A and B are shown apart, each in its own frame.
Chain A
Amino acid sequence: MHSRYTWRTLAREVSLILLALVFLVPLVGLLNVSLKPQDSQTGALAFAFPPTLDNYVQAWNQASLGAALANSFLITAVSVLLIIGFASMAAYPLARVTRGWSRFTFYLVIGGLLIPGQLALLPLYATMRDFGLLGSLWSVILINVGQQIPFSVFLYTMFLRELPLDYEEAALLDGCGPLRSFVSVVFPLLRPVTGTVVILNAVGIWNEFFTPLLYLGGSDNTTAPVAIYGFVSQYVSQWPLIFAGLVISVIPILVVYFALQKHIIKGFAGGLKG
């Protein structure tokens, strides 16, 4: 890395900024078109003037986005909580116990990283149907948790292996049982990796389309992406209306991103370095 700001750096800066503007075009276009009157025939880049919020009102009412956003939120929150709890607990013996069963279990779990969900698709669908869970948010929550266990356990285990034992030993000397020492000593020490696990899973689960489409499609319960999918097929090529719906459905995740972007980028990078 150069420490001085040379003309080369300037050239690099200018070209990166131009590239960033091109990168932003789809996002600006999305917002722009959503503010146009519905009969507008102008292109994505012709500015909406005067802008109108009519599309938002109509999209909100017609796509039942309120209920869908609430479901997306509920599914994401419950799934992420369960993933954190289960994965961190499981990682503890997997990282600390050196016996055979522990190693075997670790490989069994991370083997799941390579299995595509499509292989389990039909048997799982049949099972959920037999349990009467089709159309229930629980089906999607259970599937999210099960599918994300391998990666989250992997991250937690790797992190724990680097963590010194001293705190746990101190807790033991103070008379803590294993559960108590995990909850009040070990888990708080896992904070950095918990942040990564939360971010990776929350973004993935919020945006997930396939599972909710399959298990919730056609029911009264739906998530934001599935509601949008139905909405778009219903209002084909009424772009201003569709785009208003799209904006509403991505506002929550984009707000979270811009509020936490520093941690999110770090979390992604840190989590993926392994």
Chain B
Amino acid sequence: MAATHVPTTSPDVHQPPAQAPPGRRRVGVRAPWWFVVPAISIYLFIVVVPSANGALFSFTDWNGLRPDWSFVGLDNFTAVFTDRTALDALVNTLVLAAAATVVQNVAGLLLALGVNSMVKSRYVLRVIFFAPVVLTPLVAGYVWSFLLSPNGAVNDALRAVGLGALAHDWLGDPDTALYAIVLEIVWQFSGYSMVIYLAGLQAIPAEVLEAATIDGAGAWSKFRRVVLPLLNGAVVINVMLCLIGGLKQFDQVMAMTGGGPGTATETISTAIYKSAFSLGDFPFSIALAVVMTVVIAVLAAVQFRLTQRKSI
């Protein structure tokens, strides 16, 4: 995912802005309203107005070239939901986002626990585990497509340890291609989850853990009952980031498979791109973008509800 570029959200977003503590003087400080004008103008121009237009045009036959268009009701959405490729892309995107979110979070949490301990190499390890995050996703995708090729390092390693029977063309096989991309995403972005979990772990007061130890809690129950609940905020942010990033996945797919073989790794983003700029089918493409927005909004809301309820 272009995770480094994905704007995130945090629980704070949904709470009313913090009020000034009572007694704080507001006298004298003037923050003029026109300070927001440059930011808001460009935000309206680049995000709000085109997004609103996108939503509107999904109900029309606008083809992007002609200025004239007319309403066609739900025709574009009917086209999307009866199109084999679009449906495959929708399913692939959900599978990819779910798999990447689960694996990346487990991996990120384990890495964070590891590098938050007393191991002597912890600072170097943090740098290494985080390095793939800054690597251009497209470039990382190419490197992995080489490693996963029939004579690539992954198959070499399998043969070397006597698992040669498992060796095959990971990206050329429709059954494994999507999961091979998930593997790449997990490799690239586990360090990102690690850093957020690390920040969460370091915010846990040492006294709380000491108290649990004194009460006779073992390592597992301390983790389960003390650490994990206190990490709730980090979990919310991490899951949200992975999910949104996974649902928008474009770069690595373009680098590793281009959506193939067949439609095995087509995602909503690659399908939108192709239908708009290769096939010139703007109405179809824009309806698919609306579907994507709805999926993201629904999953974000569900995820937020679930994680909120779990917190104490």
Check if B306 is an interface residue, CB within 8 A of chain A: no
Q: Mark B44-70, 1 if CB is under 8 A from A, else 0.
A: 011111110111010000001000000
Question: A268 CA to B237 CA in the complex, in Å?
Answer: 12
Interface residues of B in 119-136 (CB under 8 A from A): 119-121, 124-136
Distance between A165 CB and nearest chain B CB, rounded to angstroms: 5
* Chain A 99-119 near chain B by CB (<8 Å), digits 1 or 0: 001110110111011111111
Residues of B contacting A214 in the complex (Cβ-Cβ under 8 angstroms): 277
Given contacts A9-B119, A86-B42, A268-B195, contact A113 B153 (CB under 8 A): no
**Interface residue tally on B, bucketed by range:** 35 or more
Residues in chain A near residue B200, CB distance under 8 A: 273
Whether the Cβ atoms of A153 and B39 lie closer than 8 Å is yes
Residue from the set A2, A24, A123 with the largest chain B CB neighbour count within 10 Å? A123
When C-beta atoms are compared, the residue in chain A nearest to B151 turns out to be: A43
**B7 to chain A: which residues have CB within 8 Å?**
112-113, 147-148, 150-151, 154
Determine whether the beta carbon of A1 is less than 8 Å from that of B119: no
For the complex, is B276 an interface residue (Cβ under 8 Å from A)?
Answer: yes
Known A120-B46, A225-B139, A249-B139; contact A16-B115, beta-carbon cutoff 8 A: yes
The answer to the question of B216 belonging to the interface, with a C-beta cut-off of 8 Å to chain A, is: no
- For window 137-183 of A, CB contacts with B under 8 Å fall at 142-143, 145-151, 153-154, 157-158, 161, 165, 168-169, 172-173, 178-179, 182
Q: Given the known A-B contacts A89-B35, A106-B17, A269-B196, are A250 and B2 also in contact in the complex, defined by CB atoms under 8 Å?
A: no
B17 with A103: CB separation less than 8 A: yes
The smallest beta-carbon distance between A109 and chain B, in angstroms, is 6
Residue ID in chain B nearest A156 by CB atoms: B39
User: Which residues of chain B are near A203, meaning CB under 8 Å?
Assistant: 4-5, 133-134
What number of A residues sit within 8 Å (CB to CB) of B? 117
Q: Within the complex, which residue of B30, B119, B143 is in contact with A246, where a contact is CB–CB below 8 Å?
A: B143
Within 8 Å of chain B (Cβ to Cβ): is A48?
Answer: no
Write out the residue numbers on chain A whose beta carbons fall within 8 Å of the beta carbon of B269. 118, 210
| Residues of A with C-beta under 8 A to B254 | 209, 229
Is B292's beta carbon under 8 Å from chain A? yes
Query: Could you tell me if B28 and A172 are in contact, using CB atoms closer than 8 angstroms?
Result: yes
**Residue among A30, A93, A120, A209 making CB contact with B32, cutoff 8 Å:** A93
- Kindly list chain A residues whose C-beta atoms are within 8 Å of the C-beta of B117: 1-2, 9, 12
Determine if B5 and A3 form an interchain contact, defined as CB atoms under 8 angstroms apart.
no
For residue A195, CB closer than 8 A to chain B, the reply is no
Considering the complex, give the chain B residue whose CB is closest to the CB of A26.
B143
In the complex, are the beta carbons of B137 and A33 less than 8 A apart? no
Q: Is the CB of B152 within 8 A of A44?
A: yes
> A residues within 8 Å of B by Cβ?
1-5, 9, 12-13, 15-17, 19-20, 23-27, 29-30, 33, 43-45, 85-87, 89-90, 92-98, 101-103, 105-106, 108-110, 112-127, 142-143, 145-151, 153-154, 157-158, 161, 165, 168-169, 172-173, 178-179, 182, 200, 203-210, 214, 224-225, 228-229, 232, 239, 242-243, 246, 249-250, 253-254, 256-258, 261, 264-265, 268-270, 272-274
- List the interface of chain B (C-beta within 8 A of A): 2, 4-13, 16-20, 24-33, 35-36, 38-40, 42-43, 45-51, 53-55, 57, 64, 111, 114-121, 124-140, 142-144, 146-147, 151-153, 156, 187, 192, 195-196, 198-200, 203, 206, 209, 233-234, 237, 241, 244, 247-248, 250-251, 254-255, 268-269, 272-273, 276-277, 282, 285-286, 289-290, 292-293, 296-297, 300
**In the A-B complex, the 3 residue pairs with the closest CB atoms:** A146-B46, A204-B5, A120-B50
